[in-house]
Amino acid sequence: MNVPPPIASGAASPATGRAPSPLSDGRQSPAALAIARGTARYLHALGYCVVSELPLPSGRRADLVALGGDGEIIIVEIKSSVADFRADQKWMDYRHHCDRLFFATHAGVPCNIFPAEAGLIVADAFGAAIICEAPEQRIPAATRKSVMLRFAHAAALRLQAIADPQGPCNGQF
C-alpha cells in the first residue's frame, strides 16, 4: 500500500486541520470512508478488533477484517453505491478467508441488491447496524492461522508507523 509521506513534524493538514492518517491511501471515496468508520466503531462495540485494507493470502485486499476474541474472522466489503457493487464481483473470493462475510453500505443504497450469501450492515460515519446476519461458514484451521498472522502483522506495523512516522515501518502495511 502506498502511503503519502507525512506532513513535516506531524503538522496539521491545511485542508482538514488534522494530522494526516498513515492509514489513508487516497483510494477510498468519502462515502466509503464514512461507512468503514461507522462499521468499525460498531464492530469494536461488539468486541471485535478491526483492521482495514488487509491483504489476504489470495492476493485480494479486504476492506475491513474483524477478529473476535474467540478467533472468529469477519470480512466486511464496503459498497458506497449500486454502481460500486455492480462493478466489483470479487467479493465471492473473500468467503474463503472468513467465517462470516458482510457487505456494508449507507442508507441510500437499496438493500435488495446484496446477495443472501452475505450479511448486510448499514452504516454512517458514527455507527452501524446489522440489517441481515451473515451465514456462518467456518474456515479451515490453516486458513484461519494465515489470516490471523496477516492481521497481527498489519496491526503491529501500523502501530509502529504511528509511533515512529519517520521509521523503517512507515508505508509497509
Model confidence pLDDT, tens digit, residues 41-57: 999 999 999 999 999 99
pLDDT reading at 169 higher than 80: no
Residue 120: Cβ-neighbour burial (10 angstroms; 0-12, 13-18, 19+): buried
- Which amino acid makes up residue 163? A
Domains in the chain: ranges and CATH: 27-163 (3.40.1350)
pLDDT band at 170 (very low <50, low <70, confident <90, very high): low
In the β-sheet with 127-132, what is the strand arrangement from edge to edge? 49-55, 61-67, 73-78, 100-105, 119-124, 127-132
pLDDT reading at 19 higher than 60: no
pTM summary value:
0.83
CA dihedral 169, 55, 77, 101 (to 10 degrees): -120
Model confidence pLDDT, tens digit, residues 69-95: 999 999 999 999 999 999 988 888 999
| Angstrom distances, CA of residue 147 to CA of 10, 39, 155 | 32, 20, 12
**How many C-beta neighbours within 10 Å does residue 3 have?**
19
Q: Which of 103, 93, 84, 30 is nearest to 58 (CA)?
A: 93
**Distance (Å, whole) CA 10 – CA 99:** 39
Cell of 156: 503491529
**Distance (Å, whole) CA 79 – CA 104:** 6
3-state secondary structure of 95: helix
Q: What percent of the chain has pLDDT over 90?
A: 73
